[in-house]
Amino acid sequence: MFPTRAAARTRSRLLAVLSTAVVAGGLVAVAPTAPASAAGSFVVSQGQFNQMFPGRNSFYTYQGLVDALRAYPGFTTTGNVAVRKREAAAFLANVSHETGGLRYVVEQNRANYPHYCDSSQPYGCPAGQAAYYGRGPLQLSWNFNYKAVGDALHLDLLHNPYQVERDAAVSWETGLWFWNSQRGAGTMTAHDAMVNGKGFGETIRSINGDLECNGKNPGERNDRIDLYKKFVGILGTGVGGGSLSC
């Protein structure tokens, strides 16, 4: 995940995560219609969250997600209730796909760990060459991504990337950072895609479009779509307009 600098490098990492997970145990300037999350009324209840992730790792707490929402107040608060629920379902469907249903906190293929240090960056890899492996709900990887998200969240993740696997709120915040502020392989952020009715398919394009869109890897793409359909059903709404696929 997080193809913000070198798509080929991040995509090769993501393929490894997806293959091993089966066998291994700047903010968007959109004013929210009503600050639901800030008011403590997230559109996903704890019961619904538990229903979506019945076998999740205990690290991924519901409260950690709710605490992380404060960093991105436009998330699931923009538009009417149906739009808010669709955005929550879309985010959590992609998260579920990336982490095997929130079972995996860190990348399972340890052989990949030394690959995520881009030594051409002026700040280098101060936490160590093998310290920037995939972590969290959208599997943040590469030293330049830890630097970027750390700067956005006012955390020194470049020197201490381990915060992403030790603090549930920080971990969720890294996923929300990408969702709300990064276009990835797409032309818009995943947040913008959902609140502007462009469809779930555009979130796939942003997160992993280089590998899953335009006919590539239909099994991976369809898994995301099936999870989205399941999650909007749990939240009591429909898939909405726009394209489901990419």
Looking up tokens 């903010």 gives 27
Tokens coding 85: 């629920």
* 3 state SS of 7: helix
202 has catalytic annotation: no
Looking up tokens 């923009």 gives 78
Residue 239: CB atoms within 10 Å: 16
Residue 230: CB atoms within 10 Å: 15
* 3 state SS of 76: coil
Which phi and psi (to 5°) does residue 153 adopt?
Answer: -95, 0
H-helix or E-strand containing 231? helix 218-234
Q: How many residues does the chain have?
A: 246
Question: Which listed residue (98, 107, 173, 212) is catalytic?
Answer: 98
Q: Which are the catalytic amino acids?
A: 98
